[in-house]
């Protein structure tokens, strides 16, 4: 299996082409600032949803604290870029690593818990982070953190989305991903098959937290201003809804789900009084007619480009 096969080259070309086209449209003012705002929201939501899907959809660990990691990333990037005057790249890396470290520290004790108990523990974690930020004057406390330089643009956003989707889908379509999926399916059997379940649960949690941190950095450096309340319990629920909407265990589902829900939500802003009603009806219909989400557990595959057998690590249904 060569790395520079036809599929990979075509995929790479498509990624670059999409970037260039959108950049040209932005330069030509076809995509105005309102559209750009929505594109940024979509990108951030994709990163968050894909990360949470690794934790909840694939590894089966029900986490309600994903906005907490985003909060950690947003504040770290804000401090690094605004207070310390460092370039955005440093802010992004620091945010990812900081959130991953928090994920590791939180994950080791809480991932012993299962199901509802884990959900409550992670929910508590998210609230702790929010309250902490609310009470630290250095980062502005309740009045928020102001004057963050606006570094996030299409280039940063797009390549961060591509990196996070690629890393997580590479991870999932490998022996490590199979280990995570098997934990979600049956933890006891998984451990009996020689899989260090604690290691993989913590690893999935840490990778998810890493990308949530990056999403936080992109958020902070786009909106100039962050406040703890943006990263509350409802934000975690929103991310979870996106993952369930797209399909637990489908990367494509998370990407499509995040894009679609962001668009629906932006569109509905014109009808503020009916907004939540229609939004709920959409979610409700998806759950009734497609109980496993938009994509179920299936991922879009470029099968027609593929030559070799199935021994390259891709599984057919995941």
The binding site for other proteins (CB under 8 A) comprises 1, 3, 167, 170-171, 174-176, 178-179, 181-182, 185-186, 188-197, 203, 297, 309-313, 315-318
Which residue reads 């593929």 in tokens? 306
Pick the closer one to other proteins by CB: 182 or 262.
182
Pick the closer one to other proteins by CB: 13 or 25.
13
Pick the closer one to other proteins by CB: 33 or 310.
310
- Beta bridge mates, 145: 226
CB of 20 to other proteins, least distance (A): 24
CB of 3 to other proteins, least distance (A): 6
Pick the closer one to other proteins by CB: 6 or 83.
6
Beta carbons of 207 and 51 less than 8 angstroms apart: yes
Q: Environment class of residue 167 by beta-carbon count within 10 Å: exposed (0-12), middle (13-18) or buried (19+)?
A: middle
Beta carbons of 253 and 246 less than 8 angstroms apart: yes
Pick the closer one to other proteins by CB: 152 or 182.
182
CB of 241 to other proteins, least distance (A): 22
Query: Alpha carbon of 104 to those of 2, 140, 150, 204, 318: distances in Å?
Result: 34, 26, 29, 10, 26
With DSSP H G I counted as helix, E B as strand and the rest as coil, what are the percentages for the chain, rounded to 5? 75, 0, 25
CB of 178 to other proteins, least distance (A): 6
Beta carbons of 218 and 24 less than 8 angstroms apart: no
CB of 295 to other proteins, least distance (A): 14
Pick the closer one to other proteins by CB: 117 or 199.
199
Pick the closer one to other proteins by CB: 196 or 280.
196
Q: What Rg value do the Cα atoms of the chain yield, rounded?
A: 19
CB of 207 to other proteins, least distance (A): 9
Tokens of 109: 């004790």
Beta carbons of 62 and 69 less than 8 angstroms apart: no
SS3 state at 226: strand
Pick the closer one to other proteins by CB: 8 or 135.
8
Those residues whose C-beta lies under 8 Å from the C-beta of residue 268, and which sit 6 or more positions away, are 274, 275, 278, 279
Beta carbons of 241 and 95 less than 8 angstroms apart: no
Among candidate residues 112, 63, 36, 113, the one with its CA nearest the CA of residue 240 = 63
CB of 105 to other proteins, least distance (A): 19
CB of 288 to other proteins, least distance (A): 21
The total of other beta-carbon atoms located within 10 Å of residue 147's CB is 10
């Amino acid at each position: 299996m060569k790395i520079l096969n036809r599929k990979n080259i075509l995929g790479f070309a498509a990624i670059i082409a999409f970037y260039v086209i959108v950049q040209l449209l932005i330069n030509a003012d076809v995509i105005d600032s309102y559209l750009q705002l929505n594109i940024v929201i979509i990108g951030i939501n994709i990163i968050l949803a894909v990360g949470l899907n690794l934790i909840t959809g694939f590894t089966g660990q029900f986490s309600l604290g994903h906005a907490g990691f985003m909060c950690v990333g947003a504040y770290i990037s804000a401090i690094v870029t605004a207070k310390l005057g460092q370039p955005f790249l440093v802010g992004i890396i620091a945010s990812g690593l900081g959130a991953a470290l928090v994920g590791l520290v939180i994950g080791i004790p809480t991932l012993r818990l299962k199901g509802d108990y884990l959900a409550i523990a992670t929910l508590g974690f998210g609230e702790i982070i929010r309250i902490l930020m609310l009470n630290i004057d250095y980062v502005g406390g309740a009045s928020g953190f102001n004057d963050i330089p606006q570094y996030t643009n299409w280039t940063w956003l797009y390549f961060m989305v591509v990196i996070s989707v690629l890393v997580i889908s590479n991870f999932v379509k490998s022996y490590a991903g199979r280990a995570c999926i098997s934990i979600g399916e049956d933890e006891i059997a998984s451990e009996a098959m020689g899989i260090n379940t604690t290691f993989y649960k913590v690893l999935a949690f840490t990778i998810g937290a890493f990308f949530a941190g990056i999403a936080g950095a992109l958020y902070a450096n786009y909106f100039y201003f962050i406040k703890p309340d943006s990263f509350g319990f409802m934000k975690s629920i929103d991310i979870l809804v996106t993952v369930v909407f797209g399909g637990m265990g489908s990367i494509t589902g998370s990407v499509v789900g995040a894009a679609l829900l962001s668009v629906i939500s932006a569109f509905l802003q014109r009808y503020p009084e009916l907004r939540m009603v229609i939004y709920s009806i959409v979610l409700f219909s998806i759950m009734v007619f497609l109980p496993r989400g938009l994509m179920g557990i299936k991922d879009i595959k470029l099968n027609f480009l593929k030559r070799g057998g199935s021994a390259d690590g891709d599984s057919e249904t995941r």
